[in-house]
Chain A
Amino acid sequence: MAAPELEARGIVKRYGALLANDRVDLFVERGEIHAVMGENGAGKSTLMSVLYGLQQPDEGRVLLRGEAVHFRSALDAIASGMGMVHQAFKLFSSFSVWENIVYGAEPRRGAFIDRRAARRNVAELAARHRLAVDPDAIVGKLSVGVRQRVEILKALYREAKILILDEPTAVLTPQERNGLFDVMRHLAAEGRTILFVTHKLHEVMAITDRVTVLRDGRVVERMKTSETTAREIVQAMTGRSVSLKVDKAPARPGAAALEAIDLTIASPGGRPLVDRVALTVRAGEIVGLAGVAGNGQSELVEALVGLRRLDGGKVLVGGIDATDADVAGRRAAGIAYIPEDRASVGSALAASAADNLAMGFHRSPLLARRGLIDAGAMAKRARALIAKFGIKIAGEQAPVGSLSGGNLQKVVVARELSHEAPTLLAEQPTRGVDVGATEFIHNQLVAERDAGRAVLLVSAELSEILALSDRILVMYEGRILADVPQAEADEYRLGLLMAGRAPEAA
């Protein structure tokens, strides 16, 4: 049998005391789509960095087609036929597509770039791989899905035989994702090899040939996708059995807890960021707000919680006009809020867990009396929440900056749920959170609903919206395009709406 296309043997990578990769072996055959899975901190990114030459392993070696290679930088890796599409694209947004693609490997004519040849090469390449892009378009004006195609073309232009795709679907609509999958299959059929880093199970089941699962820096399982199940993969990732389905009874909606009426947020130039949005979230229901990132969801949520001024319309909390109330006023009126960005909005990384868990309660009689903070009560409450939510932290005085994504999110969730506010806004509550913590957070949200609270769930993750919501709103270019009951919602229909297709067409 021929040597594998790409092979890692006994890769060890330490960061201080932490063993990020512990004797990792990886075998990838030519022409296969190979998934690398694992929870946050399992060592996927470290392994990819080593393969792509961004990090040097402490031990072990990388082999290409049976020959040992030593990449000192990504340039070496590219020269050997590797390409990587990062989660955050590395493109010049003010340059055109062809300029981005040929950058660093421009066809020349004397001292000048041969623009005509460059443009032609790019157009040919795009046509051959069925990656439709206009070579002259300015990258900054393209949608995320098209930008990703540019990234892939950039790698193909450099004749990459092995492509590493790091969480490539996180920013795509289902339709764009299916397009990407077609491209991936086509590339694999051509004999290119694809390493697919993800933690989305259904995608792994849909497209990959084989799966390597990492846990705590070690390879715990190597499987053929056709011979395994999603459940087995999750068990390998988490080391335990995790429920993939969210069990919930039908909703029993009550009175309106949160309402927006004609809510508008102007933008300095052009179309409003949020355009006359009306929405109602009732007690005892979870309303999902779906949409591709950047269609006004963040701005809408900021306006609902009081972090952003409205340019028109009203916000009602518990039936009372709270339009003029600031954040403290809205919180007092009954809003709790799990923000999208837990690290830069939802917590103070340098501060202790006790300080973090107290925010928003620091003026309540629970923790403060006549302007004085009761440090004892604060610590006691923090310990109780840490225990109740199973937050893995050294103690309540330890800073939260050292916690993993899932644990930090539990700190935020614990604090906001302990408000027991009638309305909860949960924005991307499980982004970057591992499977175990996701399951926990989902169950908490359903429990909130069942306790009679109103939950507005904002998520770019359609599976999350579909699993949890009783009703689904789809937002596109600042407007709410549709209000779909859960029973009538499926990925296809929501995907069309997310791409801006009117409900009639859907």
Chain B
Amino acid sequence: MSATPQPGAGALRGRLRPPPAAIAILFATLIGGALVLASGANPLEAYAQIFYGALAWDNLPNTLNWATPLVGMTLAAAIPLRGGMINLGGDGQMIIGALAAAVIPLYLPGPGPLVAAAALIGAAIAAGLYAALAAWGETRHGIPMLISSLLLSYPAVGIASYVVRFPLRDTTTGLPQTALVPEGARLMTLSGPLNVGLLLIAAIALVVLFVDRRTVAGYELRMRGTNARFAGYGGVRLEAQAMRVMFASGAIAGLVGAIIVLGSQFRFIDDVLLTPSYTWSGLMAALLANGEPAGAILAGLFFAALQTGGFAMQRETSVPRVLTIVLQSIVILFLAVRHGAGKRER
């Protein structure tokens, strides 16, 4: 009924506004620099070390090795987010995938590559079903997925922890870990720390991008993300969609767990998978891009580079690597502020 000037004005501002991500990174760099300066170290040197540590030719494999699980978990978070849903249960799903991948090769005979493939597929299915459980709880019983996906994580972590301490413990070492996966079933090494898992995640990223841009399923998910009621009105079967999407998300999380087990640790070791908190870095990367896969993947790569560079900086200077976590947080805060401010103006 009234004149509706806001959208037009907003579009105008949108054109004049520099890309927010770049501004957020700039501000984070300045604030982080000030922190380093205040602690008595040289910020330029710290940043140079981060940059070198992450992107120098010799260090690039480390960054990619770190990026493999992180981008994987970014995709796991981005897929539901694209449809306006949030999967907070990445930890549990990753653990289930890892455990499945560690156990299947111990009991399944056969040629190595086939066993590896079976382990990967088994991990994806187990974790996918576990994630879909959260969607089922929401659609059938009204339990908000935000809560159930997170809560389902804890029993998964706890049960896995029990399993590797008691029934499946590798009695030869005495540590809470499973027996080693037979060599034939491990993921092939590409070079240095890199293995076939990198290619697997890259392939999945391409598939996710393709599905998002070109398929009916991607269209339906995007429309759900912009307006779920509109999607439902148009005939999208929202309940089945939620189950499928959560299955896909959980399956990718499970694959990440499986890749870590079959590619670098060769067994399930309690606690080790969750320490780097790939799930949360991935979730933040996905949130930065609001679930848009290309942006999320870039953000995931950026965080991976930042974190890898942080290790190098800690080795070479007196600045602890926690600085990179601070930088990551400031970037997110700044972007969140911009989103919030934009909403209020509407």
Task: Enumerate chain A interface residues (CB-CB to B < 8 A).
Answer: 14-18, 20, 40-46, 49, 87, 167, 217, 305, 307, 326-328, 331, 337, 339, 344-351, 355, 358-360, 362-363, 368, 371-373, 375, 401-402, 404-405, 432
Contacts and interface: CB of A to CB of B under 8 A. Distances in A.
B216 A372 contact: yes
B7 interface: yes
A15 B9 contact: yes
10 contacts: A17-B8, A17-B9, A17-B12, A327-B232, A349-B227, A358-B219, A359-B223, A359-B231, A362-B234, A371-B215
Contacts of B338: none
Interface string B214-248: 11111110110011011111111100000000000
B173 interface: no
A76 B5 CA distance: 26
Given A351-B227, A363-B216, 5 more contacts: A44-B2, A347-B227, A349-B226, A402-B7, A404-B4
Given A45-B1, A45-B2, A348-B227, A401 B233 contact: no
A348 B2 contact: no
A148 to B, nearest CB: 17
A351 B221 CA distance: 12
Contacts of A355: 219, 222-223
B234 A360 contact: yes
Nearest to A197: B1
Contacts of A401: 7
Contact of A368 (B12, B216, B233): B216
Please classify how large the interface on chain B is, using the bins under 10, 10 to 19, 20 to 34, 35 or more.
Answer: 20 to 34
Contacts of B341: none
Nearest to A167: B1
Contacts of B230: 344-348, 359
Contact of A345 (B215, B217, B233): B233
B1 A40 contact: yes
B38 interface: no
A45 B220 CA distance: 37
A372 B7 contact: no
Contact of A307 (B13, B217, B232): B232
A331 B235 contact: yes
Contact of B234 (A41, A359, A375): A359
A373 B3 contact: no
Nearest to B3: A20
Q: Which 4 A-B pairs have the closest CB atoms?
A: A15-B5, A16-B9, A45-B2, A328-B235
Interface in B1-59: 1-9, 11-13
A41 B233 contact: no
B222 A87 contact: no
Contact of A373 (B2, B215, B226): B215
B8 to A, nearest CB: 6
Secondary structure class of chain B's binding surface, majority of residues: helix
A77 to B, nearest CB: 18
A350 B84 CA distance: 13
B56 to A, nearest CB: 40
Given A16-B12, A373-B214, A344 B229 contact: yes
B2 A46 contact: yes
A171 B232 CA distance: 28
A301 to B, nearest CB: 11
Given A167-B1, A363-B216, A402 B234 contact: no
Nearest to B6: A15
A372 B13 CA distance: 35
A327 B222 contact: no
A360 B235 CA distance: 6
Contacts of A348: 223, 226-227, 230-231
Contacts of B12: 16-17
Nearest to A355: B223
B223 A45 contact: no
B2 A344 contact: no
B214 A372 contact: yes
Contacts of B220: 362
Contacts of A16: 5-6, 8-9, 12-13
Nearest to B9: A16
Given A16-B8, A17-B9, A46 B227 contact: no
A17 B237 CA distance: 41
B223 A350 contact: no
A214 to B, nearest CB: 10
A181 B13 CA distance: 45
A505 B212 CA distance: 60
Contacts of A368: 216
Contacts of A372: 214-216
B77 to A, nearest CB: 20
A371 B229 contact: no
A18 B9 CA distance: 8
Interface in B170-212: none
Contacts of B2: 20, 41, 44-46, 49
B237 A18 contact: no
Contacts of B222: 351, 355
B3 A46 contact: yes
A454 B88 CA distance: 47
Nearest to B224: A348
B219 A362 contact: yes
A217 to B, nearest CB: 7
A108 B234 CA distance: 56
Contacts of A17: 8-9, 12
A365 B6 CA distance: 38
A43 B233 contact: no
Contacts of B214: 372-373, 375
A327 to B, nearest CB: 5
Given A46-B3, A344-B227, A339 B233 contact: yes
Nearest to A217: B3
Nearest to A369: B216
A327 B235 contact: yes
